[in-house]
Homo-oligomer: A and B are copies of this chain.
């Protein structure tokens, strides 16, 4: 029997370990796979032969569930761009795969990771090697094409929309007008920022304004809108993507650059830029908040839909590889919204590697809001609270045994 190896790459999410658990579980129960290896720090660790045996860490049904409930990346990550072929790196990887008897390679990641899958599967095909490479999508940014959404997105969307609703409650306790600017991750695609719209489902009415990187940002129009809220003395919460750009495509964060007490130029984010803009033009009470990296690996507040789909897509990746597929990315296809049903499938990796999916223009309203279709698209993805594991008082995470084999 051939062995498998799994890697994780890109930024952390709350669901990427659920996909790892899914791959391992399906590999175990298939009866068609020998050893189950993990590469530490993605393709970088693979090249450095920093390879561990996953069977020694994941031993019980509870271990799978605990791994699925552990945020961030149990195997570690890398930001490694494969060199353009031909390159000796490809031969080196083939040699390592031969040494470890690898027949299947699973890479859980985003855009860059799918490029790795594409390059490696093409190389192995060209060499006549039956080593099957399958990409398992994950990214909080939800910017991979060919799939209805990406695992990891739903949990981050839940954290952001829930936190915006709480901010709205927190900010409305005093009897005065104030503006909160909440900066959300997303350089080119505004899916996560758009997800803040779900906060309105709680009845809080916030966020009142939503700014996405898909639409050029117009400071004058923005100030006009804030000024209207200021006249009505209503609480105003603005959700803004870190990636908003001006009409020339330049990030607006840069123009608000600040200098700290030591003379360093600190790159102020989009949130701080809008905060300064409001102070400067309107002089009203304003505070900016960054959800920062907390939004991407908040294991305490994950979507049950997201975690179960992440686990399942890992399992489906093994089924696809065993059935002969290679050079593919696994996908989610939404069959219906009510009841929410998805099919798991796959597409040739060329269709998605290095491509970004942004928000359809018809789902963006006036450059400062999103449509009901967007909210309907989002709701099933954040639904339910995934179970957590607590032993004693704090969450009980699964840490992998990182002994190199």
| Residue positions of A touching B, CB distance < 8 A | 8, 12, 40-41, 44-45, 70-73, 76-79, 161-163, 165-167, 169-175, 198-199, 201-204, 255-262, 264, 266, 268, 272-273, 276-277, 279-280, 287, 289-290, 292-294, 296-301, 379-380, 382-383, 385, 388, 390, 392-397, 399
A273 with B294, Cβ < 8 A, contacts A12-B169, A198-B393 known = no
A259 touching B262, Cβ below 8 Å: no
B76 touching A173, Cβ below 8 Å: yes
Supplied contacts A162-B395, A259-B259, 16 more A-B pairs, CB within 8 Å? A12-B170, A71-B170, A76-B174, A76-B175, A77-B173, A162-B394, A163-B300, A166-B297, A167-B294, A167-B297, A170-B297, A199-B394, A202-B395, A204-B397, A289-B292, A290-B290
Q: How far is the CB of A312 from chain B (nearest CB, A)?
A: 20
A170 touching B264, Cβ below 8 Å: no
A170 touches which of B257, B293, B399 (Cβ 8 Å): B293
Q: How far is the CA of A380 from the CA of B394 in the complex (A)?
A: 11
CB-CB under 8 A from A255, the residues of chain B are: 261
CB-CB under 8 A from A45, the residues of chain B are: 175
CB-CB under 8 A from A163, the residues of chain B are: 294, 298, 300
B397 touching A379, Cβ below 8 Å: no
List, sorted by A's number, 17 A–B pairs whose CB atoms are closer than 8 Å. A12-B170, A41-B175, A162-B395, A166-B297, A166-B298, A166-B300, A167-B294, A167-B297, A169-B299, A169-B397, A198-B394, A202-B396, A255-B261, A259-B259, A262-B279, A264-B276, A300-B301
A397 touching B203, Cβ below 8 Å: yes
A279 with B264, Cβ < 8 A, contacts A44-B175, A78-B175, A394-B165 known = yes
A73 touching B173, Cβ below 8 Å: yes
Closest to A202 in B: B394
A72 with B166, Cβ < 8 A, contacts A262-B276, A397-B203 known = yes
B383 touching A385, Cβ below 8 Å: no
A268 touching B260, Cβ below 8 Å: yes
Q: How far is the CA of A162 from the CA of B70 in the complex (A)?
A: 12
Q: How far is the CA of A130 from the CA of B15 in the complex (A)?
A: 59
CB-CB under 8 A from A266, the residues of chain B are: 258
Q: How far is the CB of A184 from chain B (nearest CB, A)?
A: 13
CB-CB under 8 A from A272, the residues of chain B are: 260
B289 touching A293, Cβ below 8 Å: yes
